Structure 1
Amino acid sequence: MAQFSRTTRESMSLGRSNGVMKDQDSRRDQREQSRDFGGSGLDIQVSAFMDKDFSPELYVQKQLPSLSEDTVRTVHSTLADAKDTAAADLQRSIYRNYTEFIAISKEVSKLESDVLILRGLLGDLKTINETLREDAGLDRAPGTHSPEPVSGPSIRHNSAGDDSRGITSPPHSRRGSMAEGLDRSRDKVERDREKEDLAAAERVYDVVDGLSKLLPSSPNRRLLRDTSAFHEVSSSSFKQKQSCQMFLFSDALVIAGRRRNLMGSGKGRMQAERCWMLSEIAVIDMKDSPEITNGLKIMKHPDVFIYRCDAPEIKKQWLAALKKAADEHVMARRKERDAGARQALMGMANSSKQPSFISSDNSPLRKQSLIGKHDKGPQMRDQISMMDMRWLTELPDELDVFIALREFDEAVEQTDKAKLIIAQVITESPRVRSLRLAVEERVTRLAGVISQELANPLSTRAQVKCNIDRLLRLGLGEQAREIFLTARSSLIKHRVRQLQFDGDITQYIAELAVVVFTIIRNTCDWYTSSFKESGMASGFLKWVKTEIEQYAAIFRRQIFDAGQNFAVIADCLQATVEQSRTLREVGLDLNFMLEHLFLDDILNAIDAYGRRCYEAVVASIAKDPLTIVASDDKAGDLRAGLKVTQSAYTFYDVVVEFMNDMSLLVTLSLYEKIVSSFVGLFNGYLTILSETVKDSLMKDAQVLAIMCDEVFVVDEFLPRIIAQLSHRFDRPIPELEELLTVGRALVAHTMETYCVWRSTSLTHSEIFPFETIDYSSNRGISENARPTESVTRLIQEIHTIAVQIESPPLDKFSIVATLIEQLLLHMLEPKAWEHPERPNEARPIGFGGVQQLVLDVHFFLRVCESYVTERANEMADDVCERGLRIYLQGNKSTTELKTGDWYDMRVEDCISRYGGEFLHLGEKNVNTNGK
């Protein structure tokens, strides 16, 4: 009450000081209401600008119509100065009032808490007064009337013409029977509803983890209402934190949240976060504001929690339910207290004849003694001996002395003896109950002091074990475990904060692993020597899991989130694994947990690394002029004489570095990701090269250089990577074997694409325009006939291409042979045999023209003989046959054509005339411009 009065006086004082400040501000505003701008005589009321309906246009028309331009400029400048002055005044006012605003807010908060405390005190005072009045009614003086039960049939007093002998009329009896039936039905419905609520409460304990720890199960607890429509809100910033599940029991309110699933899929289980008894909290309806709507405030001094929902109807329903449940809980507690008081008074009055005791089965001392009551042990007694009673009376003082002198073992021993004495009593008298409560109070103090000793991080192993044994003997095993493990967690955090980071992240993680896993190992050793029960192991494993997750969070923040390279990642993981192996000495193997915690991070790091490698390869191809570079000055493990482009060397370096980094993390769990990364790199590189070949502006040397890169990657580099990965994983790599097959097909496709494109460019240019070569001459062919110039130019171009082909790695024969086949295919196209002006007619071929065509074909095949395949010979025969057929269809001449010997003779003669240099097609320093 004194605190409440003091808070009220301080709030009133702050209100008076604020009132003085408001009066000062008001007088200053009145002085500034009217201003004369620039000595113009124009009196402008500043208050006019504060009107919400202020119109600048109307104001100017009314106040400034006859002023000169200089005066208007002066007014404008002065108004601007007034605006700046007002802004500065507003800022100063905010700064001046901010501290007072904070102080007032704190005082209001304190006042609100004090009012709640006062409300509780008034409620307790009311209960005490009612209990005293009822007790006074029971304890009357002798001779006064005392209500006693009346035996025999009940007498009903009727007030409207009933029989004086007390006999009720049949209609009234029927109405009474109907009322009794309705009452029985109503009672049955109520009992069924209570059973359903009890069953629902049991189900809540099954689905909410940690609820039994915050709210121990009770057979009379019922679930009244639950919802997931509320969200927790920050009391300072009003930002929404998380959704929560509310459970309203008959005596408590529980808040539960969703725990994140470790597998990352589906909803996680609910975890109990807060629990309040309904008698300890106050629920306040919050008015809607811009910051929060549909909110309610739950207060338990000195904490305040805010929750909101989306619909106002839900809030109203829950406020009503909370008020109803709180009222019913208060009434139930009052009835229990009153019944206990009456029973105690009646027992004291009739103790000599018919003793009646208050049940104390909920006492910690009684709980432990009742366990195994019918087992072998001390004989049960109706009363405590006078010697034991005297000893129990003196025991609280002795326990106070033991606690003060910190003689905990003696105090625990005396407590055990007291438990044994009280456990031998069948029925507990009020005197024994008062002694038990006094002992329990000392036991609570003793447990608190021992708990403080246990929580000391500087305690030795022997001290920790002794304190845990003491708490176990007091029946506080769960509390001992939680305190011990919490102290060890605090020790880990303290030691981690002591680590110094000097820039070497690998050294820092190594030291972090030593600290964390060493303390976990020591904790496991101490724990197993102190807690012998197997039921305690689950709590310790949960603690170990939590600490490992904390370590993983630090590791993730320093390594993965910072984007460290894979060499650093591998070194840090290796240090972590080595320290985790030390836990095997105490029976713990956490490698699987570490692998699970870091798996997603490692996979994401591999993905990011693969993307960076791919981007580097793409950038190198974009900058590469696509010219052959010798391997003498490149990587030392490449064979001598290798001829590829600079981008191929870059790709080689990138993949080798990627391989070296991945080899540090080779595990079966990473097999799929590592192999898929290599597949993506090789497939992406080959695809880019294949797409580059389709560029029509490419030169022959560039296309051939790209083909060299493809052959090197598919035939040399990829098999080497497959062999290394097979050795690392100790298994075949079918994904890369399949890619090898695809790569070889891609090389063949690139070669064919180039040959098709090159043959098309030759036949559609001035080099060899086969469609426009004139073979229409009907004159006889000369005995000294030579091949046409188009054929000579074609051979010269093929020779130039063949000279540029690097062999190895390219197969010169396959490329030139494919090019020759594609040229012959173009010559066999129907369009090549159509009339240039009349598409529906065949091109004209005369007597001399058809023989010139055969001579050109023979000469072409003879010069390119080294690269002519059987298929090319067949297509050449088809070209000659088609030309002869067109000639015979259009000419009826019976003049004989030249035979094959003549063509062979002319071909050899032409080659000899050219100096025989055509016999060295595709070799360097060969001149094909003979005459």
Structure 2
Amino acid sequence: MSAQRTRQRSERNLTPNFAGKLGDAPDRKDQKHVADRMMRRYSTKPAIGGMPGGHQESFPAGLRAIQQTAVAQENKKLPPVKPADKSGKVDPSAFSASNFNAEQYVEASIRHAKESELQTFYSDLRRIKEETYVNLQRNVFRNYKEFVVIAKEVAHLSSDMNTLREYLTNLQSITALLKNDLDLAQDEDNSIIAQRRHAKFRNSIADLTTIYASQLASLWERVEGSQKYVPSFPGRHIIRECPNFVELHAATYKPKQPVYIVLLDDHLLVATSKTRAGATKLVAEKCWNLLDIELKDIHNSLQLIFGNETYVYTSEKNDDMKTLLAIYKRACEEMKSSMFCLLICFNLLGQKSGSVPRARIPSTILEPAKDLRWIEDRMDELDEWIAHKNFDDAVNSITQGRTITLSQQFDGPTTEIIGSKLDERAQRLCIILCTELSENAGKKNVVRRTVRWLVELGFEDRARSAFSSSRDAMIKQRTRQILFQGEIPQYLSDFALVQFTLMKNTWEMWQLAFQENRMASGFAAWAANQIARFKETFSRQLDGFSTTGDEYRNSIEAVRNQIPVLREVGMDASFLLKEILQQA
């Protein structure tokens, strides 16, 4: 140990004085030799045997001691790890420890290892790395099916959550309706109790006429013009008043104005605030019969449909909208029930007296909820069939709905609403069918089927116009494709052949599509227009030629030879072309 320390001191003493000695010594060769020896000693980096590219940096003795002291202090802070055994084999379980430190593990494993042990240690590390990669890949493939099953379960869970959300919404609506019924019952009870105390307003417990009259009088006083819409009528009363509503634009859903909604037992009144003479007052703006309108909940708002008109109302509180919708539905059912009772009494009176004709009770009153639900479902299916171009089912549905509507002897608002909805969808379907007819004017089966649908919908004139226009366009397209090679008789012969052949085909398709004899007049007018156009083309081509020339005579003869094409289907256009043929 003493000899080693002496050698280290001599090395440290030689290092700072070496630069000065190189400039003073006369023997340059010895100095250069000593300098090379010292540089090799301090720059040598011994490599670890058996490790490719492995090396350990070499520091001077003083720096090496400082480094060892720092590493020792750092290792004191880390928990101990289990190094490799004496043979250099690696234990993979040591890597999964929570306190594993790679640097400490490698240092402890190769501190006193030989070259063979280092080689074994390196080989084990490579082997463990490859095994870990293979195991990880195998586990990923093994768990892939489990991932798919879990994803499907998550999708089913999402669907179940949506269903549960709908159930909760329905439960909330039912609860709100029951609560409102309870509130109304309590209000009626309170009103009855109050009226018992004031005998001047009521003469008996069951008489509510005075209460209803006072309600209407208060409404007339607060809402200007309301008496015009809801005059006094036996039994008419206010069910609910909703002051916190706003009218939205039906297309953009932007707020328009605040409204005051009053729901009566047979009408729905909407009033707006207006300033007159410096004072703000409610003014009645719209009023509808409950059976003439349809109220639906759409996108956190209420959509009111009256014929072709649509109004949208909303409120800051969703409970107000749900309550109003529930009370509206109950009022409609009660109103229809009262109408049903009146008709039954009317029939009984007619049976007893024999002088009053018996009225037919329509199914829309006997089963209002069922019929309305059936109508809405049928309309949704009809929209779906039209969108998917399922024309056969759509046409049958419209014709069936029209038959049911016309068979109803009770001419009420419900029948008018159903008829307007059917007519609107029939118009939309007619536009699509006319487009299909124009695009497939050359296919006999498509033309026959499409025309039959249009005739069943009641659009015979539009079917005839669409078919004639499409065939006219086809004839123009085909005749313009004829090449003119300088010989006018040959060109007119080809032109007449194409024109007359397409007219013949049009007549054959017309007979298949329009089988009624009264529709044949439409084809006659169309054919006359085609012949007139042919005569115009003929005259324009021979303009400037002498009628006695060979060119003119050959052209007329070429046209005469093509006329028998029309005679194959019983058409004779010679009388229409008489002016041309007489010049031959």
Normalization by structure 2: what TM-score? 0.39
**Greater relative CO, 1 or 2 (CA 8 Å, sep 6+):** 2
